[in-house]
Chain A
Amino acid sequence: MRDMADKPPFRFLPPKSRPARLRPWVQLAFAAIWLAPVRTWTAGIPSCVFHCYACPLVSLSCPVGLVANYATWHIIPWLTIAVVFSVAALVGSLVCGWMCPFGALQDLFNKIPGPKISLPKWTGYGRYVVLVGVVIVLPYVLGGMGIAYDDQVVSICRECPAGAVEAAVPRQVMAWAGIDGPVHVHTIKWVLIAVFLVSITVIYRPWCKVLCPLGGFLALFNRFSFFQLHLNRPQCINCNLCHSRCSMDVEVTKAPNSAGCIRCLDCIACGALTPSIPAFGKKPPKEDEPGDRV
């Protein structure tokens, strides 16, 4: 098998696979669920996606914010752990590619034409630094010193771009419109918002790639989850289509279930790579079975 890096990327990409074409609509449908104005009844239930619970329109709670709050209190968030573990065991980071509203927002902004930058792979470890350092250890230590989560100057919720875009901006607009009470958005927050909006236009999903603690945790389950991506090696003709399609810079033919993948399924157009759920009876095709080719 020749090395994929030797092959040039596709100049004119063939049409995307059907699941990949459906993905924006699924993201839109899930966004409608996460943004449903029913939090009076459901706000205490943790969700499995990264969506700020201070947003005026929010149905469920952000699991990352909950874990950080509980770390301050020195309590284990069993319900949040159960929800996130269950989803991670079922589909892994499929959540990031198909369900996360913050991921959908980044997808949308990245469609703005202009120069695009690729990040080195080691930056993906930043997600685990944030998860352990900022979401668990820092609030745990500050909580032990008697500082409440709301009073902690450095915390995931204060520095979170989702909180800035989904909560600070709409609340400020509502305050200006006289719908809500006065809100003071710090200058640093506005700078964060500006940096984030610029970065998502030039880098594909920078938050997901480098800093998202929830995405990093879900991605750990990619190799073990029920949902798997299976590469039928005899069918692979090294056409490089999967590499050309992948916006997350995953080495698809080497490790289709790696932690850098968000399972957007943009890479399955050639037919050699197929999604499978072996535990539920939908097994990957046999090695000698012919598949759809582009």
Chain B
Amino acid sequence: MLAIAAMLAVVLWSGQGNWLRRQVGLNLQATGLEAMSTPPGKAASKPSTHPTIKTAPKGKGFCPT
């Protein structure tokens, strides 16, 4: 527990909040929910230039069906 608390403290203290935001953003992209989370009227974020990354189309969530 102490180790986890220390790790979190270091992450927050060293201004690594961006790291957390990047992780959450990547997770959203992985789940295909990024476009769904975009507020109405705003465009979804640009698709990644990574050759294997496929951003879900706007308004569509990832569905493994």
Do A and B share a complex?
Answer: yes
Contact flag A79-B64 (CB < 8 Å), given A39-B33, A44-B25: no
Contact size range, A: 35 or more
Q: Evaluate contact between A40 and B36: CB separation under 8 angstroms.
A: yes
Smallest CB–CB gap between B2 and chain A, Å?
Answer: 10
Q: Evaluate contact between A72 and B52: CB separation under 8 angstroms.
A: yes
Interface string of B47-65 (1 = CB under 8 A from A): 0001111101000011111
The 8 Å CB contact of B27, one of A40, A44, A185, is A44
Which A residues are CB-close (under 8 A) to B64? 52, 54, 155, 157-158, 160, 163, 167-168
A147 at the interface (CB under 8 A from B): yes
Interface string of B1-35 (1 = CB under 8 A from A): 10010010000000000011001111110111100
Contacts between chains A and B (CB distance < 8 A), count: 104
The 8 Å CB contact of A53, one of B25, B33, B50, B51, is B33
Q: In the complex, what distance in Å separates the CA atom of A118 from the CA atom of B54?
A: 42
B37 at the interface (CB under 8 A from A): yes
A-side interface mostly: helix
Task: List 18 interface pairs A-B (beta carbons < 8 Å), by A numbering.
Answer: A43-B31, A44-B28, A54-B61, A54-B63, A70-B26, A72-B52, A73-B53, A74-B52, A79-B24, A90-B1, A148-B52, A148-B53, A149-B52, A160-B64, A163-B64, A167-B63, A183-B63, A189-B65
Interface string of A72-86 (1 = CB under 8 A from B): 111101111010001
Q: Evaluate contact between A40 and B37: CB separation under 8 angstroms.
A: yes
Interface string of A151-191 (1 = CB under 8 A from B): 10001011010010001100110000000000111100100
Task: Tell me the A residues contacting B by CB distance below 8 Å.
Answer: 39-40, 43-46, 52-54, 61, 65-66, 69-70, 72-75, 77-80, 82, 86, 90, 143, 146-151, 155, 157-158, 160, 163, 167-168, 171-172, 183-186, 189, 226, 279
Smallest CB–CB gap between A81 and chain B, Å?
Answer: 10
Which A residues are CB-close (under 8 A) to B62? 53-54, 150
Q: In the complex, what distance in Å separates the CA atom of A61 from the CA atom of B31?
A: 7
